[in-house]
Amino acid sequence: MAHDKNELARLIRDGRGVLGVEFGSTRIKATLIGPDCAPIASGAHGWENTLVDGVWTYSMEEVWSGLAACYRELAESVKSLCGQEITRLAAIGFSGMMHGYVALDADDELLVPFRTWRNNMTEGAAATLTELFEYPIAQRWSVAHLYQAVLNGESHLKDLRRVTTIAGYVHGKLTGSWQVGVGEASGIFPIDPKTGDYDSRLAERFDELAGTGATAGRLPTSIRSLLPEIVPVGRGAGTLTAAGARLIDPDGRLEPGVTLCPPEGDAQTGMVATNSVRPRTGNVSAGTSVFAMLVLEKPLSRVHPEIDLVLTPDGHPVAMAHSNNCTSDFDAWIGLFGQAARALGATVSDGDLYATLMPLALDGNADGGGMLAYGYVSGEHVTGFAEGRPLFVRRPDAPLSLPNFIRTHLFASLGALRTGLDILTEEEGVRVEEIRGHGGFFKTPEVGQRIMAAATRTPISVLETAGEGGPWGMALLAAYLVREDADESLAGFLDRVFASSEASTAQPAADDVKEFNAFFERYTAGLPIEAAAVDHLR
């Protein structure tokens, strides 16, 4: 929605803007919204995880330099729109990649490099905790990383005083309040649905298993004292300190004192940005990774290690089918095609490459031309891989055509996701009317939607606001903090926000579904090829 220049200047001068920031896998993104919840301006900073000593991580120095660069771009955009500089805000919210392990000492300084969701190094810990808790613990979860550190006898444990996530870390450093929302907390340690807090019974089991004391490899205190406090959605979670304001805006224009909402995970901001927080609603985020979130009407019948159980920001149970790998390898191939085009003298942007090449997927052969791909840049827990090797293979008689190549890679990017979804839909009977999509997979019109509809066998809708993504979802959670009606539910608030939103919907076409099913059989049968690549390509 366009904002009148003079009205926008008053809005900014009066401090009525709401800021949402998300630390995503490839970008730190910020969105500023007004009282109508429509985006005003945005900013972004690109970053990439690196593999250091076998651990996927980001440097904390870049957390702060990236945040400042992202905010600076947003602030400059606002000034160019209305001539007014941001000095005050109504509310702020931070989100980030869910799960992972941020271990801090008594001075809240990092003890080991941040371990991201991408690390599949906790298989033993996750399996043990899943059996002990009778509750699925994913390898990405903070508690799995913590217990794996115990099993490894890591020396940093003796100095450990706090465990949190990237969003919780940023929030804590900016406010001095080490708190998270319940959705983010559900990726740290299991939540008791009756209390909305960490499950005390399971915490006791963990303490008995891990042990505490001065011995190497033991925890210095109980797990409950290590975890961040949970703050319900719609309540304040600390205020921006003077030092925190300088971290966001080193130029010193942003004033401290603004209230922050509890930080959340990117899974939760995806739910909010697609208005998918009620039971029988669902959304799928597809980009570097891909995950489908289905809000449950009732608990699953049994534990499925392949499926994560998390919560919406307002505490409803959600089944998450998560795949570490989606388009990263496909993106690398697109980059290679770009290099080839430029070597031939063409001037072509990345946007042009995607806009030109992705639609070719719709012209591929019915069977994908006998091609097969695994975009496993990292491990893939759903299909049982601790490591990955990006792989493309074809039958000798398969025609190597560009449409088939593109189609095969887009199909392959959803192979592991389909493995998880089959557990929910076939074994558990979970049903949703539609799944709302967001993320880079859907940027090219029609292509991503059609392929996702074929893979999930469910209508895929993309809202007109889907491009706003996680930072907008986080801004909405911050706006919910300062809503006028204190009794309004989050679902009711979102219904108002989305009342006039339009969506495009792709139905699962019978031929596309049949073709994806055939490809998925080939994908599943070919997993030993990927395993051999991991074993032999060192």
Look at residues 150, 37, 85 and name the one whose alpha carbon lies nearest to residue 472: 37
Which residues, other chains included, contact 277 with Cβ-Cβ below 8 Å and sequence gap of 6+?
271, 295, 312, 313, 314, 316, 490, 491, 494
Identity of the residue numbered 16:
R
Res 217: pLDDT = 60
pTM above 0.75, yes or no: yes
Helices (H), 103-260: 123-133, 142-152, 166-175, 182-185, 200-210, 223-226, 242-248
Q: Sign of the C-alpha dihedral, residues 452, 454, 460, 462?
A: positive
Tokens of 66: 């990236």
Tokens of 51: 């593999």
Where the chain has pLDDT below 50, the residues are none
- The Cβ of residue 309 has, within 10 Å, a number of other Cβ atoms equal to 21
End-to-end CA gap in the chain: 52
The angle subtended at Cα 135 by Cα 386 and Cα 216, nearest 5°, is: 65
Look at residues 390, 368, 332, 327 and name the one whose alpha carbon lies nearest to residue 530: 390
CA–CA separation, 531 and 387 (whole Å):
9
CB of 183 closer than 8 Å to CB of 230: no
Give the helix/strand (H/E) hosting 42.
strand 39-46
Look at residues 328, 361, 106 and name the one whose alpha carbon lies nearest to residue 220: 106
Res 214: pLDDT = 52
Backbone angles phi, psi at 299, to 5 degrees: -65, 155
What is the DSSP pairing of strand 460-463 with strand 503-506?
antiparallel
Which residues, other chains included, contact 454 with Cβ-Cβ below 8 Å and sequence gap of 6+?
508, 509, 512, 513, 515, 516
- The Cβ of residue 214 has, within 10 Å, a number of other Cβ atoms equal to 7
User: Coil, strand, or helix at residue 356?
Assistant: helix
**Rounded to 10 degrees, what is the CA torsion of 473, 474, 477, 483?**
-90
CB of 204 closer than 8 Å to CB of 275: no
Give the helix/strand (H/E) hosting 8.
helix 5-13
CA–CA separation, 507 and 408 (whole Å):
20
Identity of the residue numbered 354:
Y
What is the DSSP pairing of strand 371-374 with strand 229-230?
unpaired
Res 503: pLDDT = 86
Please tell me what DSSP assigns to residue 243: H
Tokens of 18: 């709401």
